[in-house]
Amino acid sequence: MEKLIIFNFKMAPSSLAEAKNVFQIFNKFSSKIKKHKLVIVPPYIFLAEAKEVLGKKCFLGAQNVFWFDRYSVTGEISPKMLKLLKSQYVIIGHSERREYLQETEVMINLKIKTCLKDGLKPILCIGEKERKGKDSSSSFSVKKILFEQLNHAFQGVQIKKSSDLVIAYEPIWAIGSGKSQDLVEVEKTISLIRFWLARRFSEKLAKNLPIIYGGSVNNQNILSFLKLKEGAGVLVGGASTNKNELIKILKQLIK
């Protein structure tokens, strides 16, 4: 089954030459990667170059979007602009934006609605800040956090097709920490999200909507996450622009 691999560059690399170099690495390997769909999400300033350089096997995404097309809002980027740059996906609600930019549930909800209206696929990130002691996906505290994030994000949202949207389960404590979530817990948490989707939308949508895992994915653990039955893929952060690590990851994906 085809899995989705999202590469979130965050604020790297630091120059256009470096970005081109990373895109070329993707081109070198992507033709050999038959089983998976690669989505490259560079900072805005490299999207135009990515559109030119990346081959057909790589899809593009953005790290953020504004929620209106025609307003004068200094510093923002509209959905139409992203589509001009051939971006099909947008990461929404990443924990770094929630924390450092005080991005609220209301903003996240508006962005999801805008993306769906304008034909961009949101990659909605949700996840708990911490897990204490014996906390698991069956703990009330974990369920409460995830269900509240889902309730807010999808308020008033209609989804036509399961392929219109992706959910990324990203436990915040696992992001950039080198400590990824336990595989069994990822599987259970994804099932929990599917349970919520079935109640809010339909069994069919809950079964088919892609739910991926993110948080310290690297060349050592990526294949285990890709083997998960409930999981539809992974979101790779920090490793995306570390050239050695990226090459190792892409080599794993050929297998």
CB of 82 to ligand PGA, least distance (A): 19
Report angle CA 192, 194, 199 to the nearest 5 degrees. 100
Q: Contact with ligand PGA (CB under 6 A): which of 217, 228, 246, 249?
A: 217
Minimum distance from CB of 5 to ligand PGA (Å)?
12
* CB closer to ligand PGA, 112 vs 205: 112
Counting Cα atoms < 13 Å in the Cβ hemisphere of 159 gives 27
Instruction: Answer yes or no: 170 catalytic.
Output: yes
Residue 15, classed as helix, strand or coil, is coil
For position 64 contacting ligand PGA by CB under 6 A, the verdict is: no
Q: How far is it, in rounded angstroms, from Cα 190 to Cα 183? A: 11
Q: Is 219 in the site for ligand PGA (CB under 6 A)?
A: no
CB-wise, 61 or 78, nearer to ligand PGA? 61
Interface residue with ligand PGA, options 3, 8, 47, 79 (CB under 6 A): 8
Q: Check residue 43 for interaction with ligand PGA (CB under 6 A).
A: no
User: Residue length, the chain?
Assistant: 255
| Residue 194 backbone phi and psi in degrees, to 5 | -65, -35
Contacts of 224 (CB under 8 A, 6+ apart): 183
**Shortest Å distance, C-beta 172 to ligand PGA:** 9
Nearer to ligand PGA, 168 or 205 (CB): 168
Buried b (16+ CB within 10 A) or exposed e, 65-98: bbbeeeeeeeeebbbebbeebebebbbbbbbbbb
Q: Which is nearer to ligand PGA, 205 or 231 (CB)?
A: 231
Catalytic residue among 96, 103, 128, 170: 170
DSSP string, 69-108: SSS--TT---HHHHHHTTEEEEEES-HHHHHHS---HHHH
Least distance from C-beta 113 to ligand PGA, angstroms? Answer: 22
Decide if residue 127 touches ligand PGA (CB under 6 A).
no
Distances in Å between the alpha carbon of 62 and those of 86, 153, 213? 10, 18, 18
| CA atoms of 172 and 218, how far apart (whole Å) | 16
Residue 13 near ligand PGA by CB under 6 A:
no
Residue 170 as a binder of ligand PGA (CB under 6 A): the answer is yes
Is residue 26 exposed (0-12), middle (13-18) or buried (19+ Cβ within 10 Å)?
buried
Pull the structure tokens for residue 63.
């790290």
77, 126, 146, 236: residue in contact with ligand PGA (rule CB under 6 A): 236
Does 40 engage in binding with ligand PGA (CB under 6 A)? no
Decide if 94 is catalytic. Answer: yes
Our finding on whether 61 is near ligand PGA (CB under 6 A) is: no
Q: Is position 215 an interface residue for ligand PGA (rule: CB under 6 A)?
A: yes
What is the binding site for ligand PGA (CB under 6 A)? 8, 170, 175-176, 214-217, 235-239
User: Catalytic residues, which ones?
Assistant: 94, 170
